[in-house]
Amino acid sequence: MNLSPRTRRIATGLACTLLVAAVGFFVLTSARPSNRTLPPHHPDPARGEVLFSVGGCVSCHKASISDGVSGPPAGGVEFPTLVGSFWPGNLTPDVETGLGGWTAEQFVAAMIDGVSPDGRHYFPAFPYPSYRAMPVGDILDLWAHLETLTPVRSPARAPTVPALGLARRGVGLWKRLALEEPGFRRDPRRSDEWNRGAYLSNGPGHCGECHTPRNALMILDPDRAYEGGPHPRGEGLVPGLLNLEKRGRYSDAADLVLALQFGETFGYDRLSSGGMADVQMNLAKLPEDDLLAMAEYLLSLE
Protein backbone atom coordinates (compact mmCIF):
# COMPACT_ATOMS: atom_id res chain seq x y z
CA MET A 1 0.00 0.00 0.00
CA ASN A 2 1.29 3.40 -0.96
CA LEU A 3 0.27 5.86 1.73
CA SER A 4 1.41 9.44 1.82
CA PRO A 5 3.53 10.36 4.87
CA ARG A 6 0.63 12.49 6.13
CA THR A 7 -1.92 9.65 5.93
CA ARG A 8 0.59 7.37 7.56
CA ARG A 9 1.06 9.87 10.41
CA ILE A 10 -2.68 10.17 10.91
CA ALA A 11 -3.13 6.40 10.80
CA THR A 12 -0.34 5.88 13.32
CA GLY A 13 -1.79 8.59 15.55
CA LEU A 14 -5.22 7.00 15.37
CA ALA A 15 -3.86 3.53 16.13
CA CYS A 16 -1.94 4.89 19.11
CA THR A 17 -5.00 6.72 20.43
CA LEU A 18 -7.09 3.58 20.12
CA LEU A 19 -4.44 1.52 21.84
CA VAL A 20 -4.14 4.02 24.70
CA ALA A 21 -7.94 4.13 25.00
CA ALA A 22 -8.14 0.34 25.03
CA VAL A 23 -5.38 0.01 27.62
CA GLY A 24 -6.96 2.82 29.65
CA PHE A 25 -10.36 1.09 29.57
CA PHE A 26 -8.74 -2.20 30.53
CA VAL A 27 -6.84 -0.67 33.46
CA LEU A 28 -9.72 1.50 34.69
CA THR A 29 -12.22 -1.33 34.57
CA SER A 30 -10.20 -4.27 35.83
CA ALA A 31 -11.41 -5.84 39.04
CA ARG A 32 -8.92 -7.47 41.29
CA PRO A 33 -10.19 -9.55 44.19
CA SER A 34 -8.98 -7.44 47.06
CA ASN A 35 -6.68 -9.10 49.54
CA ARG A 36 -7.59 -7.17 52.67
CA THR A 37 -6.68 -8.71 55.99
CA LEU A 38 -9.74 -9.17 58.11
CA PRO A 39 -9.70 -7.65 61.60
CA PRO A 40 -9.92 -10.08 64.51
CA HIS A 41 -13.62 -10.58 65.17
CA HIS A 42 -15.70 -13.00 67.21
CA PRO A 43 -18.66 -13.51 64.89
CA ASP A 44 -22.21 -13.34 66.24
CA PRO A 45 -24.52 -15.33 63.96
CA ALA A 46 -27.63 -14.11 65.85
CA ARG A 47 -26.74 -10.50 65.03
CA GLY A 48 -25.95 -11.73 61.52
CA GLU A 49 -29.49 -13.07 61.19
CA VAL A 50 -30.87 -9.64 62.07
CA LEU A 51 -28.64 -8.03 59.43
CA PHE A 52 -29.79 -10.68 56.94
CA SER A 53 -33.39 -9.51 57.56
CA VAL A 54 -32.54 -5.79 57.44
CA GLY A 55 -30.56 -6.46 54.26
CA GLY A 56 -33.52 -8.22 52.67
CA CYS A 57 -31.14 -10.75 51.14
CA VAL A 58 -33.88 -13.32 50.67
CA SER A 59 -36.11 -10.83 48.78
CA CYS A 60 -33.85 -11.15 45.75
CA HIS A 61 -32.11 -14.46 46.52
CA LYS A 62 -35.32 -16.34 47.29
CA ALA A 63 -35.48 -19.93 46.13
CA SER A 64 -37.37 -20.82 42.99
CA ILE A 65 -38.33 -24.02 44.75
CA SER A 66 -40.05 -22.48 47.80
CA ASP A 67 -41.94 -20.00 49.80
CA GLY A 68 -40.80 -16.43 49.24
CA VAL A 69 -39.07 -14.58 52.02
CA SER A 70 -39.72 -17.32 54.59
CA GLY A 71 -37.73 -19.88 52.57
CA PRO A 72 -33.96 -20.29 52.19
CA PRO A 73 -31.94 -17.80 50.08
CA ALA A 74 -31.16 -20.50 47.53
CA GLY A 75 -31.60 -18.27 44.50
CA GLY A 76 -33.04 -18.96 41.09
CA VAL A 77 -35.87 -16.42 40.86
CA GLU A 78 -35.71 -13.99 37.95
CA PHE A 79 -34.80 -10.39 38.83
CA PRO A 80 -35.49 -8.19 35.81
CA THR A 81 -33.57 -4.91 35.44
CA LEU A 82 -33.20 -2.25 32.75
CA VAL A 83 -30.07 -3.96 31.38
CA GLY A 84 -31.36 -7.54 31.41
CA SER A 85 -32.45 -10.26 33.79
CA PHE A 86 -30.49 -11.72 36.68
CA TRP A 87 -31.13 -14.85 38.71
CA PRO A 88 -29.49 -13.89 42.03
CA GLY A 89 -27.51 -16.88 43.23
CA ASN A 90 -27.53 -19.41 46.00
CA LEU A 91 -26.43 -17.95 49.38
CA THR A 92 -26.71 -21.26 51.28
CA PRO A 93 -23.44 -23.06 52.12
CA ASP A 94 -23.82 -25.71 49.40
CA VAL A 95 -20.26 -26.33 48.21
CA GLU A 96 -20.98 -26.79 44.52
CA THR A 97 -23.81 -24.35 43.85
CA GLY A 98 -23.75 -21.97 46.83
CA LEU A 99 -21.25 -20.11 48.99
CA GLY A 100 -19.87 -23.28 50.62
CA GLY A 101 -16.55 -22.95 48.82
CA TRP A 102 -16.14 -19.23 49.55
CA THR A 103 -13.81 -17.72 52.14
CA ALA A 104 -14.91 -14.95 54.50
CA GLU A 105 -12.50 -12.63 52.65
CA GLN A 106 -14.25 -13.32 49.35
CA PHE A 107 -17.64 -12.63 50.90
CA VAL A 108 -16.40 -9.33 52.36
CA ALA A 109 -14.99 -8.36 48.94
CA ALA A 110 -18.36 -9.08 47.30
CA MET A 111 -20.26 -6.98 49.88
CA ILE A 112 -17.83 -4.03 49.99
CA ASP A 113 -16.08 -3.96 46.61
CA GLY A 114 -18.76 -5.61 44.48
CA VAL A 115 -16.09 -7.95 43.12
CA SER A 116 -16.46 -11.71 42.60
CA PRO A 117 -13.90 -14.31 43.75
CA ASP A 118 -12.76 -14.68 40.12
CA GLY A 119 -12.23 -10.94 39.81
CA ARG A 120 -15.28 -9.63 37.98
CA HIS A 121 -17.48 -6.65 38.78
CA TYR A 122 -20.97 -7.31 40.07
CA PHE A 123 -23.79 -5.20 38.70
CA PRO A 124 -25.22 -2.82 41.28
CA ALA A 125 -28.56 -4.64 40.97
CA PHE A 126 -26.86 -6.35 43.94
CA PRO A 127 -27.05 -3.31 46.24
CA TYR A 128 -23.42 -3.38 47.43
CA PRO A 129 -23.19 0.42 46.94
CA SER A 130 -25.32 0.52 50.13
CA TYR A 131 -24.00 -2.63 51.82
CA ARG A 132 -20.45 -1.27 51.70
CA ALA A 133 -21.46 1.08 54.53
CA MET A 134 -21.38 -1.99 56.77
CA PRO A 135 -18.31 -2.37 59.01
CA VAL A 136 -16.38 -5.57 58.30
CA GLY A 137 -17.45 -6.96 61.69
CA ASP A 138 -21.12 -6.76 60.70
CA ILE A 139 -20.40 -8.45 57.38
CA LEU A 140 -18.61 -11.25 59.24
CA ASP A 141 -21.65 -11.66 61.52
CA LEU A 142 -23.81 -11.95 58.40
CA TRP A 143 -21.38 -14.50 56.95
CA ALA A 144 -21.54 -16.48 60.22
CA HIS A 145 -25.34 -16.56 59.89
CA LEU A 146 -25.20 -17.74 56.26
CA GLU A 147 -22.88 -20.54 57.34
CA THR A 148 -25.52 -21.83 59.79
CA LEU A 149 -28.07 -22.36 56.98
CA THR A 150 -28.88 -25.81 55.64
CA PRO A 151 -27.12 -26.23 52.28
CA VAL A 152 -29.54 -26.33 49.36
CA ARG A 153 -28.54 -27.49 45.89
CA SER A 154 -29.57 -24.80 43.43
CA PRO A 155 -27.30 -24.14 40.43
CA ALA A 156 -26.58 -20.61 39.23
CA ARG A 157 -28.09 -19.24 36.05
CA ALA A 158 -26.23 -16.70 33.91
CA PRO A 159 -27.74 -13.23 33.48
CA THR A 160 -29.20 -12.29 30.10
CA VAL A 161 -27.30 -9.01 29.82
CA PRO A 162 -26.06 -8.32 26.26
CA ALA A 163 -22.23 -8.41 25.90
CA LEU A 164 -22.00 -9.52 29.53
CA GLY A 165 -18.20 -9.48 29.83
CA LEU A 166 -17.85 -5.99 28.39
CA ALA A 167 -20.85 -4.77 30.39
CA ARG A 168 -19.19 -6.00 33.60
CA ARG A 169 -16.11 -3.98 32.65
CA GLY A 170 -18.37 -0.96 32.12
CA VAL A 171 -19.64 -1.46 35.66
CA GLY A 172 -16.01 -0.97 36.72
CA LEU A 173 -16.09 2.55 35.26
CA TRP A 174 -19.46 3.26 36.88
CA LYS A 175 -18.12 2.16 40.26
CA ARG A 176 -15.30 4.69 40.01
CA LEU A 177 -17.91 7.45 39.81
CA ALA A 178 -20.64 6.05 41.99
CA LEU A 179 -19.12 4.31 45.00
CA GLU A 180 -18.57 6.24 48.20
CA GLU A 181 -15.87 5.41 50.72
CA PRO A 182 -16.75 2.19 52.54
CA GLY A 183 -17.99 2.36 56.12
CA PHE A 184 -20.63 4.45 57.84
CA ARG A 185 -20.03 8.09 58.76
CA ARG A 186 -21.96 8.95 61.90
CA ASP A 187 -23.38 12.40 62.46
CA PRO A 188 -21.92 13.59 65.78
CA ARG A 189 -24.71 16.15 66.22
CA ARG A 190 -27.30 13.38 66.44
CA SER A 191 -28.06 10.78 69.11
CA ASP A 192 -26.66 7.23 69.11
CA GLU A 193 -30.18 5.96 68.45
CA TRP A 194 -30.59 8.20 65.37
CA ASN A 195 -27.19 7.15 64.05
CA ARG A 196 -28.03 3.47 64.52
CA GLY A 197 -31.27 4.03 62.60
CA ALA A 198 -29.44 5.92 59.84
CA TYR A 199 -26.89 3.11 59.59
CA LEU A 200 -29.50 0.34 59.45
CA SER A 201 -31.61 2.22 56.88
CA ASN A 202 -28.86 3.40 54.54
CA GLY A 203 -26.38 0.53 54.98
CA PRO A 204 -27.83 -2.97 55.22
CA GLY A 205 -31.43 -1.73 54.80
CA HIS A 206 -30.57 -0.01 51.47
CA CYS A 207 -33.91 1.86 51.69
CA GLY A 208 -32.53 4.63 49.47
CA GLU A 209 -31.93 2.21 46.57
CA CYS A 210 -35.66 2.50 45.89
CA HIS A 211 -36.74 5.64 47.77
CA THR A 212 -33.99 8.01 46.49
CA PRO A 213 -34.08 9.16 42.85
CA ARG A 214 -31.05 8.60 40.61
CA ASN A 215 -29.25 11.05 38.35
CA ALA A 216 -28.52 10.54 34.64
CA LEU A 217 -25.62 8.21 35.52
CA MET A 218 -27.94 6.02 37.62
CA ILE A 219 -26.21 7.20 40.79
CA LEU A 220 -28.38 7.86 43.87
CA ASP A 221 -28.70 11.66 44.08
CA PRO A 222 -27.52 12.74 47.55
CA ASP A 223 -29.27 16.11 47.18
CA ARG A 224 -32.61 14.42 46.72
CA ALA A 225 -32.31 11.66 49.32
CA TYR A 226 -35.63 9.96 50.08
CA GLU A 227 -37.65 12.19 47.76
CA GLY A 228 -39.07 9.10 46.04
CA GLY A 229 -39.02 8.48 42.34
CA PRO A 230 -39.29 5.90 39.60
CA HIS A 231 -39.05 2.27 40.63
CA PRO A 232 -35.69 0.67 39.71
CA ARG A 233 -37.47 -2.27 38.11
CA GLY A 234 -40.05 -0.07 36.38
CA GLU A 235 -42.85 -1.06 38.75
CA GLY A 236 -44.47 2.37 39.09
CA LEU A 237 -43.51 5.12 41.50
CA VAL A 238 -41.83 4.74 44.86
CA PRO A 239 -43.21 7.24 47.40
CA GLY A 240 -40.90 9.65 49.19
CA LEU A 241 -40.17 9.21 52.88
CA LEU A 242 -39.75 12.91 53.77
CA ASN A 243 -42.00 14.60 56.36
CA LEU A 244 -43.89 11.36 57.08
CA GLU A 245 -45.19 12.75 60.38
CA LYS A 246 -46.11 16.21 59.06
CA ARG A 247 -47.97 14.62 56.16
CA GLY A 248 -49.97 12.54 58.64
CA ARG A 249 -48.69 9.22 57.33
CA TYR A 250 -47.64 8.11 60.84
CA SER A 251 -48.38 9.77 64.19
CA ASP A 252 -45.04 8.96 65.86
CA ALA A 253 -42.13 6.50 65.91
CA ALA A 254 -44.18 3.80 67.69
CA ASP A 255 -46.83 4.08 64.95
CA LEU A 256 -44.23 3.71 62.18
CA VAL A 257 -42.75 0.69 64.00
CA LEU A 258 -46.21 -0.94 64.02
CA ALA A 259 -46.60 -0.19 60.31
CA LEU A 260 -43.22 -1.80 59.51
CA GLN A 261 -44.03 -4.79 61.74
CA PHE A 262 -47.57 -5.50 60.58
CA GLY A 263 -48.16 -3.54 57.38
CA GLU A 264 -51.47 -4.12 55.67
CA THR A 265 -52.77 -6.54 58.32
CA PHE A 266 -52.98 -3.57 60.72
CA GLY A 267 -54.58 -1.36 58.08
CA TYR A 268 -51.43 0.57 57.11
CA ASP A 269 -51.44 1.21 53.37
CA ARG A 270 -48.69 1.79 50.78
CA LEU A 271 -46.59 -1.08 52.05
CA SER A 272 -47.52 -3.78 49.59
CA SER A 273 -46.39 -3.16 46.03
CA GLY A 274 -43.13 -2.79 44.13
CA GLY A 275 -41.06 -4.96 46.45
CA MET A 276 -42.13 -3.15 49.63
CA ALA A 277 -44.18 -6.15 50.81
CA ASP A 278 -40.99 -8.25 50.94
CA VAL A 279 -39.15 -5.41 52.70
CA GLN A 280 -41.93 -5.14 55.29
CA MET A 281 -42.02 -8.92 55.89
CA ASN A 282 -38.25 -8.90 56.42
CA LEU A 283 -38.42 -5.91 58.77
CA ALA A 284 -41.14 -7.66 60.79
CA LYS A 285 -38.41 -10.08 61.96
CA LEU A 286 -36.28 -7.34 63.57
CA PRO A 287 -35.93 -6.73 67.29
CA GLU A 288 -38.13 -3.80 68.29
CA ASP A 289 -35.24 -1.55 69.35
CA ASP A 290 -33.70 -1.78 65.85
CA LEU A 291 -37.04 -0.82 64.32
CA LEU A 292 -37.45 2.05 66.78
CA ALA A 293 -34.00 3.38 65.83
CA MET A 294 -34.94 3.20 62.14
CA ALA A 295 -38.28 4.91 62.81
CA GLU A 296 -36.56 7.73 64.71
CA TYR A 297 -34.21 8.27 61.76
CA LEU A 298 -36.93 8.03 59.10
CA LEU A 299 -39.24 10.49 60.89
CA SER A 300 -36.38 13.02 61.07
CA LEU A 301 -36.13 13.18 57.25
CA GLU A 302 -37.46 16.46 55.90
Residue type, 134: M
Residue from 72, 76, 86, 112 in contact with ligand HEC (CB under 6 A): 86
C-alpha span between 189 and 117 (Å, rounded) = 39
Phi, psi of 28 (to 5 degrees): -65, -25
Query: How near is the Cβ of 4 to ligand HEC at its closest, in Å?
Result: 49
**Per-residue exposure over 163-188, b if at least 16 CB sit within 10 Å of its own CB, e if not:** eeeeebbbbbebbeebbeeeebeeee
Of 231-250, binders to ligand HEC (CB under 6 A) are 231, 238-239, 241, 249
Please state, in angstroms and rounded to a whole number, the distance separating the CA atoms of residues 247 and 26: 50
* Residue 17 or 70 with smaller CB distance to ligand HEC: 70
Q: Which of residues 239-298 bind ligand HEC (CB under 6 A)?
A: 239, 241, 249, 270-276, 279, 283, 294, 298
Contact code string over 184-203 relative to ligand HEC, x by CB under 6 A:
-----------------x--
Quick check: 92 binds ligand HEC (CB under 6 A)?
no
Q: Looking at the chain, how many residues does it have?
A: 302
- Our finding on whether 47 is near ligand HEC (CB under 6 A) is no
Residue 65 CB neighbours (<10 A): 14
Neighbours of 68 (CB within 10 A): 13
What Å distances lie between residue 167 and 2, 67, 157, 160, 251, CA to CA?
A: 39, 32, 17, 11, 46
207 binds ligand HEC, rule: CB under 6 A: yes
Q: Which stretch binds ligand HEC (CB under 6 A): 2-10, 42-50, 180-188, 207-215?
A: 207-215
Q: Of 118-157, which residues contact ligand HEC (CB under 6 A)?
A: 122-123, 125-127, 131, 142
Site residues (vs ligand HEC, CB under 6 A): 55-57, 59-61, 79, 86, 88-89, 91, 110, 122-123, 125-127, 131, 142, 159, 201, 205-207, 209-211, 231, 238-239, 241, 249, 270-276, 279, 283, 294, 298
